[in-house]
Amino acid sequence: MGEGMKHIYLNLKRFDIPAEYGGVNRIADFKNWGAHIVNQTEDELSRYDPETVEFSMFIPEAHILPALGALRESSPIHIGCQGVYREDVSLGGNFGAFTSQRTAASMRAAGCSCALIGHCEERRAIAGILAQAGVEDFSVVNRILNQEVQAAAAAGLKVLYCIGEDAGERSRWREVLAEQIHAGLDRVDRSGVVLAYEPVWAIGPGKIPPDREQIRCVGDYVKQLTGGMDLVYGGGLKRDNAGMLASIPSIDGGLIALTRFAGEIGFYPEEYLEIIRLYIGGEPV
């Protein structure tokens, strides 16, 4: 990762589902949704210096190919997938018996350059399966995620690896983050990984987000723990915190999801671009 590089990540979750089906997509027809987002943002994102800021979009799998097809040559937009399976094809081994699984090699073959791994929603899903089996040792979640990170790296994908403590872990957040990093990135070339800090206890309606000092404290700790790995704020880069996050030296960017939280909530490309302008400061050059 480049020195001083800022990273702006966009996690589009399942914002593709139209409102009439219970989702929040009011911006484009489902089939054109991924391409629409690229088309509506590419011109302005192209005005930023690629040596100082990079833009990655993690898109639901149905939209990856249309989004990639909409990219122009030398586009600043990197298209990524929302997680990968912990196993993959191998020469002389498994050639593709992965029904229902999204392997890293398949995503690299499609044209993706990065993967989102360990998001709090993925961690919760894995922990829920373990709980159904009566497993109470949730350290296994980090070990499963480590297999996913290794699979992504083996396929040549860069990784955004999410870490964060929930409400019950706040009193020992340093220990929790250290274990997530140590176990999740075991035997991984960290030069291909960016970390995202998610304060899970603060995510959701009615929750109070961490203030600048809390985020700075976490950022400084993670930098010291990892020897300076790039770290972005994963609790949501938004209009109301963009300036504050930009002022924290140990935070190297942010993860955007929803852009509108009242009324017709959802993701809107013009609001996404506004958040970036607020975070980067001034006008693109």
For 90, residues 6+ apart whose C-beta sits below 8 A from its C-beta are: none
Q: Domains, the chain, ranges and CATH?
A: 6-280 (3.20.20.70)
Q: Tokens 């999204």 label which residue?
A: 102
CA angle 213, 216, 220 (to 5 degrees): 140
Q: Please provide the average confidence, as pLDDT, over all residues in the chain.
A: 96
Exposure of 86 in the CB half-sphere (CA atoms within 13 A): 10
Element (H, E) at 118: none
Rounded average pLDDT over 145-169: 97
Give the pLDDT score at 1. 39
Q: What are phi and psi of 56, to 5 degrees?
A: -125, 140
Residue 276 DSSP SS3: helix
pLDDT bin (cut points 50, 70, 90) of residue 3 is low
Q: Which helix (H) or strand (E) holds 79?
A: strand 77-81
**Pick the residue with more confidence: 4 or 277?**
277
Structure tokens, 146: 């480590």
The terminus-to-terminus CA distance of the chain in angstroms comes to 21
Catalytic residue positions?
119, 198
Q: Is the pLDDT of residue 272 over 90?
A: yes
